[in-house]
Amino acid sequence: MRLTKDVYATSLTLLTDLYQLTMAYGYWKEGKAEQEAVFHLYFRKNPFAGGYTVAAGLEYVVEYLQQLQFTEEDLAYLADLKGSQQTPLFEKEFIQYLRDMKFTCDVEAIPEGTVVFPNEPLVRVKGPLLQAQLIETPLLTIINFQTLIATKAARIADAVKGDQLMEFGMRRAQGIDGALSATRAAYIGGADATSNLLAGKLFNIPVRGTHAHSWVQAFDTEEESFAAYGKAFPQDSVFLVDTYDTLEGVKKAVETAKKLEHLNFKLSGIRLDSGDLTYLSVEARKILDEAGFTDTNIVASNDLDEHLITSLKQEGAKINVWGIGTKMVTAYDQPALGGVYKLAALRNADGNWEYKIKLSEQLAKTSTPGVLQVRRFIDGNKYIADMIYNKLDAIPDEALIVDPLDTTRRKHIDAGTAYKDLLVPVFSNGELVYNLPALKDIKAKVKEELNHLHESIRRYLNPHSYPAGLEEGLHNYKIALILKLREE
């Protein structure tokens, strides 16, 4: 198997779970393949015990759906699959159905970079049941991961308080796809640059880097290593100073910079990758300033996250550039978002919608029926509440929002309050109708969105809960449907 030929230059239509195909086959056998259905993709809990989440991954979803067609190689593979009795898993007629299938669903989604909250549909898919079912797994794998990383990056960007934020995590990322997706999502969330060259090329993200300890070790002395690197990059040198003795390394970096002044050399920065970062950065700043290198950056790495960065700043660390790796690109303290994709409505033979609900002993896992939309209410410059409602029902001018997990928690919205609906058309009958924004514009949107939230929602420990829930009529209908189904 050749990596680039057989894995990364192939059809992605089979990037799904087997059970999506077995269900699709079952729908086809039952004559339900073309029955119109509505599915919602959402998550149940903000990640990192936080107060908000940042939506990401929609551009990948668009590209996936645009290429959604079974190739002859895909079909040959499916035709060759065997069941437990060593007979073909799928009939030839079903294989032909897949060959002729064209994506015709309507897709609405919340744009990337938007702050979102639990139970709100990030994506709504309406169309033939078989098609809408088939795309469940790829949509989840794309949106779950990128939303998770974008949220983590936004939290870290909040912590650095305007300092430069670099994403250095490729070597610790979850494989090639994980590295590329994580870099893209981290940039959306707030990273200013990346060390990932391929991501820089593919996504037009600025690339930055320093050198490794091995560079220093490859020379007889630390001074020689700095001098050689400085001659190679006279305007772009950041010296890694902690290979042997950190503060001695800072002094040697200064001495080298002075010796290279005749080459128009500029010491852009020094990097600290170990030890007591507060103490070392304070002492390093003194050494640099006393030598006249007041504009030389102090870059810190070493398994940083938003909590450690906040602590370092409170302690008075003199760091102004932050290189974040493992804990950003792997979402170290929470490995998965836990997004789900649930059927919410089916159109019956009479042309009417029948609303569907998935019950659970856990209230949080009970889905919401209907054809859902999210309405965000705004007071001045601040977001004040989100209401999930059934777009097929009339909404009263004065809205009442009910928390689905605690029905005693309610938010009244006065008539005339400004609002915007979050789900926007992306595909209509399988055709793209959405203008994908530039990545830098999505990144800017995240910063703007966070400024619309009250500070208490953005804090890391025990954040305030943003009011987001069901429109009262939808809540009442959901409860009635639950009771009806449990009586049957």
What domains lie within the chain, and their CATH numbers?
Answer: 161-329 (3.20.20.70)
What's phi and psi for 453, nearest 5 deg?
A: -95, 145
Q: For position 333, what pLDDT does the model report? A: 93
Q: For position 1, what pLDDT does the model report? A: 46
Q: For position 360, what pLDDT does the model report? A: 87
Residue ranges in the chain whose pLDDT is less than 70: 1-7
Question: Which pairing describes strands 372-379 and 353-355: parallel, antiparallel, or unpaired?
Answer: unpaired
Candidates 457, 484, 435, 210; CA nearest to 322 is 210
Helices 175-189/439-451 angle, 10° precision: 50
Sign of CA dihedral 417, 422, 425, 430: negative
d(CA 329, CA 338): 17
Give me the long-range contacts of 176-179 (CB less than 8 A, separation at least 24): 176/8, 178/145, 178/329, 178/330, 179/329
Q: For position 377, what pLDDT does the model report? A: 98
Please identify which residue in the block is written with the tokens 């009262």. Answer: 472
Candidates 233, 225, 220, 157; CA nearest to 188 is 157
Counting Cα atoms < 13 Å in the Cβ hemisphere of 53 gives 32
Q: For position 2, what pLDDT does the model report? A: 59
Helix (H, G, I), strand (E, B) or coil at 365: helix
Please identify which residue in the block is written with the tokens 């070597």. Answer: 171
Per the CB < 8 A criterion, the answer to whether 105 and 421 are in contact is: no
pTM exceeding 0.75: yes
Please identify which residue in the block is written with the tokens 């003194």. Answer: 286
What's phi and psi for 142, nearest 5 deg?
A: -75, -55
d(CA 458, CA 50): 7
**What separation in angstroms does the CA of 289 have from each of 112, 270, 285?**
42, 13, 6
Candidates 162, 166, 186, 181; CA nearest to 54 is 186
Q: For position 376, what pLDDT does the model report? A: 98
Both tokens of 49, joined, read: 């015990």
Residue type, 376: R
Burial 260-288 (b: 16+ CB within 10 A, else e): beeeebbbbbbbbbeeebbebbbebbebb
Q: Distance of alpha carbon 452 from its chain centroid, rounded?
A: 19
Dump the DSSP string for 37-83: EEEEEE-SS-GGG-S-EE---HHHHHHHHHT----HHHHHHHHH-B-
Identify the helix (H) or strand (E) that includes residue 94: helix 92-100
Q: For position 215, what pLDDT does the model report? A: 97
Q: For position 305, what pLDDT does the model report? A: 97
